[in-house]
Chain A
């Protein structure tokens, strides 16, 4: 029997649609699962009070601070470095052996397990540079961890800016830097923001690299040289050491909501910027 095009067409729709549906339902399942277990514990009090008895009682305020400060620091360090590298590679160098080696290197870096970054951060920042377990050690380590992602997404975004825009800019007597600043970066912005948001997402959920470098102190940090604990680490310790399953899920729910809202806010901001320009 011959297979008719309309049959393969139907099979393709079913298979592709099925894959999408499965992915979506998994996502929904995870979120619902975490929220169902965590929401009963979650309250403003839980978010904004200090933990007591290792987290068995009380809230998670210091870990909330840790989860805000650490990714922010990581992104603040990694964004200029990553965007700078990407723009240099795409706009200031011609495709050569060297750029291919650099690109291969960043790709390898992106594939390294986070615990290796944690180990490196521990040896280099915490002990060799004597920064100790601190927000600064953790922030620098996370910055290195998310750097490849930011470089690659920025590179893609910069490459996607139409060549004609560059030609127009140069033909109007703009220098390379003026072209980068006035034409390339503004048009690559959505892609860059995507890369940065991926970086935020990775560092907010990171545990291994954070424990090794920022430590897991439950005290509210007063400077970047203090140790801190993030929500992800808090969740890990509460669950791993059987301290409090309820509070562990409460923390997890807070983390999930935080990640979702960060993404939504970024998306909304992006849309507003784009709408203003076109």
Chain B
């Protein structure tokens, strides 16, 4: 290997608590990166992955200090440089592309001004040259009408566009290394796939080295040449991407990969028990010992060293031991013939026509959600997938009575109406429908004990109080595998996974017939997610509740659903048994979504079928997907609502194309439509 561009040597850093106790966040991390190479740093929350990346720029978040080791960038010790010299490197030779470009762009400055600022600092150009260069850079990141973009403010760009603008800013200083801190987290899958493909191409074109930080193995698999797996502030394993993903050697890497739901392999992924050590705590042995399936006595006596194995390095004393099998478990749903919930031709609109609109007979706005039809049997799980703005959460909120329906009917069980808002539902109806929220942190009142939180539905629906409620709450905790002593705790004293379990327990306190799960695992780390999915599946079998499971993650939906509905702009594109929806024939939108999913496999490339345009509102008529559809026929798509085509038993696709045409293997689609791209860059 040639002389590395970045070399981290035994870097330890962290915070110093009152009384001088050191709380390490990084513990002796060593890494190397060659020029032009892409390194992926992967790990769960609290693993220190972002801290390593920022340290490469010689940057520490406030309150942190270096305990030992050094970072050498291009021959210079970053922490030994003066602040002024460091500033010269930052944004120049090494530039950051932030996690949330929307928040990392200064709201009061135009995009052009912000890029110009970087140019002024790092490039020797006059004003006119800089103005040209700004437009050139914006074109290089494939932003449409770059001259116009330069004049815009950050809030006038979509999420994907903001991210591209941030890339343009990073490129302004002719960087040798780009640091990407979860740059696609929070973006829609199709947008993410486009940005990643773009970054890959860019790295090759410009010959720049990249450090790519992510929690998502799929993303890392796609972009990285080498992967560093972080755990508890240490490197657990480091090596070429293919080796690490195909033949992981550290038990943590193996567990992590096994806990990821896959599109190709239906069923519940294996979960990893326990939680990582708290950030800043002291280690006396292997950090992973408590969660390791092959732990031995000597693992706890000393912290293992990083050992070289072939092209990789592994921090495990027993990496050569055969791994424990981690089988996927298959759901055994107990689906009854009785109906639990039915939606028929439901439309939902957030904007009510105002007085003026009615007076002047202005056209009513297209509803946010329209023509939604589905039925849910007792014990069945229906998955709703789609990108942001697909209306999947809105449908849940309508069933829960939090938003009103504009048209159509929602019925529960034997036909009891659910069309009224929450305030006009009776106790019994309320009890039968329960909701579990995305963010357990926000869905539990921080000022109530777990006993009070679980007590609320018990009091409201079952009139339980005192010892009776206490006893029932203990049973509920037992059902979600939490100890009874947690009853006196506050949510702040629980980990993310534990909080989500309490949220599940609260929903089941009502003994619901329909449980609405709104992105319940998307805020969790994958290893915790797997356990949460297993818990939901077990509770369903025990209680016979029906689920509507909303997620943007196609693989997660596949893992837990019996049937799946794919939504775009508040309209159903495709609905049917999970196995049928996840196999051809596809609706063009389903196909686009599936093509954009990133698998933790270095040899699977995404297929980009449609532009990553973010649509703000549904089209007034015709097919909801008309503007982005790769298989668009013509005017008929814009004007006429596509027919429901029954492909097989219960598998319906809403499309103007017939079954045979849809079933055709899609033609090989180029990575980016070259004509379009040329237009954008040229313009």
A binds B: no
Write the residues of chain A forming the contact surface with B, with a CB cutoff of 8 angstroms: none
Write the residues of chain B forming the contact surface with A, with a CB cutoff of 8 angstroms: none
